[in-house]
Structure 1
């Protein structure tokens, strides 16, 4: 069974211009970090011209496709039929993208097959994490 799930999605960038530009993005789930989902945007899709990765809770994504969720850097909410809005807040500004809800549901289903919701704690390597923290303290 795979321990990392990746899924390419087409994100529609919401911008002041009249049309929404489609940008490629990749959703990633790794059982080594069982509570998190990552969304990668390639350099051409970012203002900085560098690859950008946003990490946020898998539960936030699962909740946000049903009802508005999040109050921090990442916010997720349903939008119309089969669209979900993801807002990424940074000190440079806010990026808003629309993703097909069906793609997000498929991704979450696949991640659920790797680590069932509610069982994430079983996949944490707390001894390794603690050792890494203490290694830097001297």
Structure 2
């Protein structure tokens, strides 16, 4: 039985300063073979890593290197972007995204909190810097609902494959 991956592309705003922001496309992904995690993929041009971008340094780091739940770029939206770079992918707990829609949540590299109106703020921290991204809460709620249709809350353990996880961990 193949369970479908949930992918949704939404518009967000990268907050650059009090009076400046940049629109960007973010691809949200949920994979049943990794049922506890969600992925956010950002365009490569927003990377702070000067090795692979245009050097503007206005963005999102490379994801939490070595952080729990960090995963190599290997899913939909994790490949090359139309401009020739690789998307920046952040992987974190699905329950963190759900909790952050209601109350401030997060420890370490990813923090999520409700904002005024129908907005949600996602703060991503990397050694290169911190990025603050504003989402429409409706987009995030729709994505979570779609992920729960595929794997309901509380049933994630039914989709875990410990042998595959161990093989991935050991390389």
Q: TM-score, normalised by structure 2?
A: 0.74
Indicate whether 1:104 and 2:104 are aligned. Answer: no
Q: Which moved more, 1:2-11 or 1:89-98?
A: 2-11
* Superposition misfits of 4+ residues, deviation over 4 angstroms: 131-134
1:1-138 alignment to 2 at 5 Å? 2-16=3-17, 18-48=19-49, 49=53, 50-133=86-169
Whole-angstrom distance in 2 between the partners of 1:37 and 1:130: 19
Looking at secondary structure, tell me which structure has more helix per residue.
Answer: 1
Looking at secondary structure, tell me which structure has more strand per residue.
Answer: 1
Q: CA deviation at 1:31?
A: 0.3
CA RMSD of aligned residues (A): 1.7
Whole-angstrom distance in 2 between the partners of 1:131 and 1:7: 29
SS in 2 for 1:113: helix
- Is contact 2:48–2:128 with CA below 8 Å preserved after alignment? no
Whole-angstrom distance in 2 between the partners of 1:5 and 1:88: 22
Q: 1:132 to 1:15 in 2, by over 3 A?
A: closer
Q: CA deviation at 1:11?
A: 1.3
Structure 2 gaps of 5+ residues are 54-85
Q: CA deviation at 1:16?
A: 1.9
